[in-house]
């Protein structure tokens, strides 16, 4: 095991089960979005799946199973796995607990709300689906798009916690829900954090568990029509109340902006990293066309976990040039061999890595502009001369899925060097490509390999034992159209299938190297499986199986 992998392992302990007093004990659960609160999307304890065995992955019995939502529906949340159960919510407003293995595998262990009335519990009595009655917008609603987190010691229970509308409260006020993981009984529903009387809802944001709290964000109820005020809330795990000491709003004054479309992550020292959405500087609507103060839109931010104060902010595009290039992807946060980094990709395809640091607040005049106190990233990919960008060439593209981190190796769908082409070439956006980057290397050695010409847009990824699992996706597509799950062998575990120039518009060989680029490997696709529906979330890896939820309404378990 490399030093960087040892360090990465140390960063995943925030909500992962720690096996004490038992040699060989290993937790193979996948306890939340991105595996844990660092969101590395890496399974450190997988003992079955590797580059030699994934060629036989299959969801047909007895290897795996295919669960289809009863009555139809879509999954845009990512699955979580714990206690031999796969947990995921649907846009139809039902949350499902599905047996992962054993004689009942692929069948419902419990669902919430239940199909038949039960005695009143902490959430009352209801069989109504958790839906917003009107005005829910794209597939971040109207039901459950928030991925569940598993948390211990929630009023004496181990709980699954997720965001969803409350059908018994003003047509779908947004709350967090805590259900007993074994029975589905409601432990509590939080205070309202996204009232239907306003413009926000709990969309794709999934709770991050730390400090006996669940941190979660809110985004626009109907995306950008109108734009809402992005906020992060801290919910007390003991009873679902809002922690009044923690307060973060992405804007000050009357102008809205900065919706939280992503999931918070937790730093090694326990602070909160969040990415934010766009402003309404160029939008219609009340109080738009002005610069808010403070302005935390279109940014990666570190927040003090106690109170929500901003400890640093990176805003790669100046607000005057905000044509919707914001962050849909969550940040990956944690320890690597060269320190502690927070990494995310903007919708314009630029990947930014920021030193997490201890303490704050921090700012750097080299990356700031009037009315802002911004920090500089450690690096951006592709490399740029300076930030923030002061041009209008950054908008709403489809680089919206976070990567995975294994040691110092990042796997992510970004725009790459095509965004900053050499003289004589034109910038272009290519969505069916996966990059592997060395997060601790120099800019010249940043690119490890490139996988071009994928059979669809590159989506979210996860990794275990040097195998990267990637789903293809189509924005806002909830049809049953075919998409792909790929199992890709990192070039550390299998030699590359071929080579490509790190600026792929150039041929490999001397033309590539003489132009200042590198000839890099193309990894082997060990397995390509066609599934039904766009893969909007992150594949979960647990105990020899890969679990994939699709917007076509299928939840797959793929094993050997």
Distance, CA of 419 to CA of 423 (rounded, Å): 12
Distance, CA of 265 to CA of 33 (rounded, Å): 10
- Which helix (H) or strand (E) segment holds residue 4: the answer is helix 3-10
How confident is the model over 298-328, as pLDDT tens digits? Answer: 999 999 999 999 999 999 999 999 999 999 9
CA neighbor of 380 nearest in space, from 408, 354, 410, 406: 354
User: How would you class 359 by CB atoms within 10 Å of its CB: exposed for 0-12, middle for 13-18, buried for 19 or more?
Assistant: exposed
Q: Which two tokens stand for residue 327?
A: 């962050």
C-alpha 115: how far from chain center: 31
The torsion angles phi and psi of 416, rounded to 5 degrees, stand at 70, -165
Band the pLDDT of 225: cuts 50, 70, 90. confident
pLDDT given for residue 452 in this prediction: 98
Weakest-pLDDT range from 25-34, 113-122, 298-307, 550-559: 113-122
How long a stretch of residues is the chain?
Answer: 560
Question: Any idea what DSSP says for residue 336?
Answer: E
User: How would you class 192 by CB atoms within 10 Å of its CB: exposed for 0-12, middle for 13-18, buried for 19 or more?
Assistant: middle
Q: Which two tokens stand for residue 495?
A: 């030699």
Average pLDDT over residues 173-195: 97
User: How would you class 416 by CB atoms within 10 Å of its CB: exposed for 0-12, middle for 13-18, buried for 19 or more?
Assistant: buried
The residue ranges of DSSP E strands in 144-204, in sequence order, are 149-154, 157-166, 173-180, 186-189, 200-201
Judged against a pLDDT cut of 60, whether residue 229 lies above it is answered with yes
Judged against a pLDDT cut of 50, whether residue 12 lies above it is answered with no
DSSP string for residues in 414-471: --GGGGSPPTT-------S-EEEEETTS-GGG-EEEEE---SSEEEEEEEETTEEEEE
Tokens 């640091």 locate to 357
Judged against a pLDDT cut of 80, whether residue 138 lies above it is answered with no
Residues facing residue 137 across a β-bridge: none
Judged against a pLDDT cut of 50, whether residue 14 lies above it is answered with no
Whether the Cβ atoms of residue 183 and residue 110 lie closer than 8 Å to each other = yes
**Whole-number average pLDDT of the chain:** 94
Average pLDDT over residues 521-533: 99
Cis peptide before 405 (omega within 30 of 0): no
Judged against a pLDDT cut of 90, whether residue 139 lies above it is answered with no
Q: Which two tokens stand for residue 236?
A: 């007390």
Largest separation between any pair of C-alpha atoms in the chain: 74
DSSP string for residues in 367-400: G--TT---PPPSEEES--SSSSB-SS--B--S--
CA neighbor of 398 nearest in space, from 487, 329, 330, 453: 329
The bridge status of strand 200-201 relative to strand 157-166 is: unpaired
How confident is the model over 62-102, as pLDDT tens digits? Answer: 999 999 999 999 999 999 999 999 999 999 999 999 999 99
Average pLDDT over residues 201-222: 96
Average pLDDT over residues 280-304: 95
Kindly provide the b/e burial profile for residues 484-517, where b requires at least 16 CB atoms within 10 angstroms of the residue's own CB: bbbbbbbbbebebeeebbbbbebebeeebeeeeb
Average pLDDT over residues 434-457: 99
Residues facing residue 213 across a β-bridge: 210, 236
Name the 3-class secondary structure at 558.
strand
Q: Which two tokens stand for residue 153?
A: 């010691």
| Domain boundaries defined on the chain | 25-70+417-474+478-560
pLDDT given for residue 25 in this prediction: 62
Whether the Cβ atoms of residue 485 and residue 471 lie closer than 8 Å to each other = yes
The torsion angles phi and psi of 512, rounded to 5 degrees, stand at -70, -55
Average pLDDT over residues 121-145: 86
Q: What is the side-by-side strand order in the sheet with 524-532? A: 457-464, 467-473, 482-489, 524-532
- Which helix (H) or strand (E) segment holds residue 86: the answer is strand 85-89
């Amino acid at each position: 095991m490399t030093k960087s992998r040892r360090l990465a392992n140390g960063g995943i302990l925030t909500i992962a089960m720690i096996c004490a007093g038992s040699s060989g004990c290993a937790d193979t659960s996948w306890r939340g979005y991105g595996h844990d609160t660092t969101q590395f999307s890496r399974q450190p304890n997988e003992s079955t799946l590797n580059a030699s065995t994934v060629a036989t992955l299959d969801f047909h019995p007895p290897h795996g199973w295919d669960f289809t939502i009863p009555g139809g529906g879509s999954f845009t949340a990512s699955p979580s796995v714990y206690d031999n159960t796969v947990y995921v919510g649907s846009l139809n407003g039902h949350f499902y607990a599905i047996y992962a293995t054993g004689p009942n595998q692929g069948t419902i262990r419990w669902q919430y709300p239940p199909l038949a009335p039960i005695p009143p519990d902490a959430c009352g009595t209801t069989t109504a689906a958790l839906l917003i009655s009107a005005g829910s917008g794209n597939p971040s609603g109207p039901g459950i798009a928030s991925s569940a987190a598993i948390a211990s010691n929630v009023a004496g229970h181990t709980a699954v916690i997720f965001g969803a509308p409350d059908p018994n409260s003003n047509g779908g006020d947004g709350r967090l829900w805590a259900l007993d993981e074994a029975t589905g009984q409601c432990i509590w529903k939080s205070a309202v954090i996204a009232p239907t009387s306003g413009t926000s809802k709990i969309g794709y944001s999934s709770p991050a568990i730390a400090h006996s709290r669940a941190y979660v964000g809110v985004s626009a109820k109907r995306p950008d029509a109108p734009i809402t005020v992005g906020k992060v809330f801290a919910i007390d795990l003991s009873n679902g109340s809002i922690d009044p000491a923690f307060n973060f709003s992405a804007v000050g004054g009357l102008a809205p902006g900065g919706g939280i479309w992503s999931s918070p992550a937790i730093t090694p020292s326990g602070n909160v990293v969040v990415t934010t959405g766009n402003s309404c500087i160029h939008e219609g609507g009340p109080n738009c066309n002005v610069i808010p103060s403070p302005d935390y839109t279109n940014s990666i931010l570190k927040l003090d976990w106690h109170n929500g104060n901003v400890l640093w902010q990176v805003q790669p595009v100046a607000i005057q040039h905000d044509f919707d290039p914001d962050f849909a992807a969550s940040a990956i946060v944690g320890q690597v061999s060269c320190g502690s980094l927070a990494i995310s990709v903007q919708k314009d395809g630029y990947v930014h890595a920021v030193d997490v640091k201890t303490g704050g607040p921090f700012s750097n005049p080299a990356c700031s502009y009037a009315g802002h106190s911004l920090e500089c990233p450690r690096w951006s990919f592709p490399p740029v001369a300076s930030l923030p960008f002061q041009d209008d060439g950054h908008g709403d593209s489809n680089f919206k899925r976070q990567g995975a981190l294994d040691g110092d190796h990042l796997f992510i769908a970004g725009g790459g060097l095509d965004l900053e082409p050499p003289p004589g070439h034109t910038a272009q956006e290519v969505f069916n490509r996966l990059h592997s980057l060395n997060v601790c290397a120099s800019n010249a050695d940043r690119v490890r390999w490139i996988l071009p010409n994928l059979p669809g847009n590159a989506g979210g990824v996860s990794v275990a034992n040097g195998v990267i699992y990637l789903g293809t996706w189509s924005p806002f597509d909830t049809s049953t159209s075919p998409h792909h799950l790929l199992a890709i062998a990192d070039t550390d575990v299998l030699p590359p299938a071929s080579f490509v120039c790190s600026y792929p518009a150039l041929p490999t060989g001397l033309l590539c190297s003489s132009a200042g680029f590198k000839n890099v490997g193309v990894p082997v696709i060990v397995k390509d499986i066609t599934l039904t529906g766009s893969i909007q979330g992150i594949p979960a890896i647990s105990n020899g199986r890969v679990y994939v939820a699709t917007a076509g309404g299928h939840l797959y378990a793929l094993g050997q």
